[in-house]
Chains A and B, each alone.
Chain A
Amino acid sequence: MGRVLPRARADTQTRTAPRFSYKTTAYLFVLPYLIFFLAFRLGPALVGLGMAFTNWRIVGQPDWVGFSNFEAMTRDTRFLDALRNTAVFTVLTVPLLIIVGLALAIFMNQPRRGRTIGRVAVFIPYVLMSTVVGVLWTWMLERDFGLVNSYLKYLGIAPVPWLLNENVALYGIILTTIWWTVGYSMVLFLAGLQDIPEELYEAARIDGASPWALFRFVTIPLLSPTIFLVALLSIINSFQVFDQAYVMTSGGPGTSTLTLVQYVYTAAFQFSRMGYGAAIAVVLFVILIAIALIQARSYRRGLTGTMQ
C-alpha cells in the first residue's frame, strides 16, 4: 500500500502542478482548529496564568501580588477541603469506571440476543446534559421518596440520606457519575476487545487454558493500551468534576462535595476574586500535567516490558 500511493500522486503531478505543497495543504486543514484553539483555549489559559499572580476583581485594574494567592491557598480550609474531595472522588471513580466498564464490555461483547439494545442502553446516559443528569439523580437519590431508597427498602436496607449527609453525599455524586459516564469507557473497551485476534483465544484454549487464564493472560495484556487510555481520560475528567456536583448539592452539605473546579468558579465569579480563582486553576493544571506525565512514563515502561 505504502508504495502505491506516492506513485499515484506522481501521476497527477505530471498533469497539473498542485497549487500548494503537501505540507501547506496539511497546515491549511489544521488552521481553522488552530485559530479557535489559540483564541479560545491557549490564549485564555496564558492570560489566566498571568491573572493568578494578581488581585484582579473582574472589574478595574489588576495589581501584581506575586505568590500571595498561592500562599493564601495553604491557609484556606475551603481550598484544602476541595482538594481532598476531588482526590477522593478521583481515586474512587476511576477504578470503578475501569472495572464496571470492562465488565460491561465483556458482557456486551458476547454473541447473545439483544446485545445492541444493551449497548445502547448503557451508552445513552452519556449523551445527556450534565444538568439533566444532576436533576434526575437528585430525584433518584431523594431520601424519603427516591427510587434508589425505595429499592433498598425492598431489600430490607434502611433508607440512606444520600445527598443530606456529609459522609455519604460524595458517594451519591460518584454513583451518579458512574451511571452517566460508564457507557463511554464501555465503548472504548468494546473496541479494544474486538481488536484482539480470535486465534489467540483458540490457541490458548487448545493449550487447555481456563476462562480465567484467557482473561488474565490474553485479554488483559492485549487490552492494556485501552485500559491506559480509559484511565488517563477518566482521571482528567474526574479531576475536573463540577456540573453534576454543583447541580445536586452546590458543594454541600457543609463542604463535603465541594470540588476544585467549583471553588475556581465560586472564588472567581461569585466572590469576584478572579486572581485567586485563576491561581487555584493553575494548581489544578499542574496536578493534571503531573499525573499525565507519570502515567505516560509508566505506560512506556510497561510497553518495553511486554516486548522483552
Chain B
Amino acid sequence: MRRLLVCSLLVVMLFSVSLATAQSTTIEFWGGWTGPDAETMQGLVDEWNAANPDLQVNLTMQQWSPLFDAFITSAAAGDSPDILAMHPQEMAQFIDLGLILPLDDIIAGSDVLKVENFSENAWNLNKYEGVQYAIPLDLHMHGIFYNVDMFEAAGIDTLPVTGAEFVEAARMLTLDANGKHPGDDGFDAANVVQYGTSMHTNHHAFFQWWALYNQLDGQFLSEDGMQCAWDLDKATQAWQWLQDLVYTHGVAPQGQTDYPADFLSGRTAMLIDGPWRMPQLEQAQADQGFNWGVIEYPVVFDHPAVWGSGHNFTLPTNADPAKQADALRFLEWLVSNSQGWAVSGQLPVFNSVSESEAFLELPGRSSFVEMLPYEVILPGIVKYNEIFASNAPTPMMVLAQDIMLNDAEVRPAVETACNEITAILSIP
C-alpha cells in the first residue's frame, strides 16, 4: 500500500515537472569567454534565469577558436545556437558561409536595439558592407598598466604620452643588479632585475603593430580586397619600433610569455594589456597592496590610434525561428543591464550604462574610455582566420614571432608576409 502511494506520488511529480518545462522556453547561447569573464557572464545569465522562469537561457562557453569550430560543424548539420557571441572582425567569414543573419529587419521593431542607445563607433563596427549583423556588448583596447611604486622610485612624475617619452620612461625603469639603466656606463644587460615594460611575443604583438601602422595611416588591403597593400616603409617602421624596445633599447624582456605574472611580481614596471586585466589587478591591490594605474597607449607616430576589438551578439541562420523573439528579448535585457558586465573590465557601449557614474567610478576605466575614439580593429575580411588566427601558422603570427622572438631583419620579413597574404587572398 505504501509502495503504491510512493509510486503514484512520483508519477504526479514527474507529470508536474514535464508540465513546467512545457511552459518555459530554453534558448541556447554560446560564447567564448573563459577565466573571470566567464563567471561574470554566467552570473548575468543566472540573474535573468531567476527572474524569468518562462524563458531560460542555457549558456555554453569554451575558448573562441574551438567554439567557432563547433559552431561551423553543427551549422553544417543544420543545427545552431539561438545566440552566438563573437568579435566584429570575425563576422565576415560567417556571413560568407551564410551562417549568421542580417539584423536590420529583425531589430527594426525594438526600442532598445537601435543606434541611438549605443556608442555610434561600436554600433557601426558591427556592420558588414553597410548591413547590421551584430549587436555590440562592449569594446576593449590596449592600454598600459603601470606600477605606481616603481614609477615613484624611478622619479617619473609626468606620465609618458609620446613614443619617445615612453621609451625614456622604460629606460629609467630598467635596472641591472647594480641599479644602472640601459645606456649607462657599465650597464650589465645579462643581469637585469627589472624591465621597463612587457613586450608581446604572441598575437598581441601584431595587434600593437596594427595600432602603430594606423598611427602612420597605413592601409592593409587594396581597394578590391584581393591584395596586400602594405606601405612597406611604414609597415617596417612600425615593427621596428616594437623590436627595438627589446633588442636595441633593452627595456623589455626577450621571449616573454607570462606578461601579467611578470608585472605582478615586479619583473616589469609596465604591462601592455587590455581592460579585462583590471579585476585581477584590483584583487592584487586588495590582497597585497599592489599599486597600479593606467596610461593611454603611446602616440608614437603622427596621431593616436590603438588596437581594439569588442564583443557582440549574432543570430545564427540555422537557429529555430520560433525562438528569435525570445532571443531578442534576452539580448535587450543583457545589453541594457551591462553594468554587471563592466565589472569584468570590459567597456560597455550601451549609453545609459557607459555614461553612468557607477561605471566611471570604477578604477582605471576613465583612461580606457578616453581611448575609445581612437580604437582601430583588424580588417574584418572573409579570410580573417587564414591571415590572423593566433593558434595557426598564419602569416601575421609567423611574422610577429620572427620579429619579436628571432630578432629577424624587419623589412624582408614584412615583404614575405605581405606576399603570403596576397597568395592567400588569391585562392578562390
Contacts and interface: CB of A to CB of B under 8 A. Distances in A.
A253 B72 contact: no
B72 A272 contact: yes
B401 A254 contact: yes
A165 B405 contact: yes
Contacts of B294: none
Interface stretch (A29-37, A55-63, A107-115, A296-304): A55-63
Most buried by B among A250, A266, A270: A270
B393 A258 contact: yes
- For chain A, give the interface size range: 20 to 34
Interface string B73-117: 101100000000000000001000111000000000000000000
- For chain B, give the interface size range: 20 to 34
Nearest to B398: A254
Interface string A253-269: 11100100001001001
Contacts of B401: 166, 252-254
A142 interface: yes
A59 B393 contact: no
B397 interface: yes
Nearest to A253: B401
Nearest to A263: B393
Contact of B75 (A59, A81, A254): A59
A57 B398 CA distance: 25
Contact of A253 (B76, B385, B406, B428): B406
Contacts of B398: 252, 254-255
Contact of B72 (A58, A143, A258, A266): A58
Contact of A250 (B93, B392, B405): B392
Contact of A270 (B65, B201, B255, B427): B65
Contacts of A178: none
A60 B65 contact: no
A78 interface: yes
B389 A78 contact: no
A72 B97 CA distance: 22
A270 B389 CA distance: 8
Contacts of B392: 250-251, 266, 270-271
Contacts of B397: 252
Contact of B405 (A55, A253, A269): A253
Contacts of A55: 428
A164 interface: yes
A59 B257 contact: no
Given A165-B405, A269-B69, A251 B393 contact: yes
26 contacts: A57-B97, A58-B73, A58-B76, A59-B72, A59-B76, A59-B97, A59-B98, A81-B393, A143-B255, A143-B257, A165-B405, A165-B406, A250-B390, A250-B392, A252-B393, A253-B405, A253-B406, A255-B393, A258-B393, A266-B389, A266-B392, A269-B69, A269-B73, A271-B385, A271-B389, A272-B97
Given A59-B99, A270-B391, A271-B383, 6 more contacts: A58-B76, A60-B97, A72-B427, A164-B405, A270-B69, A270-B385
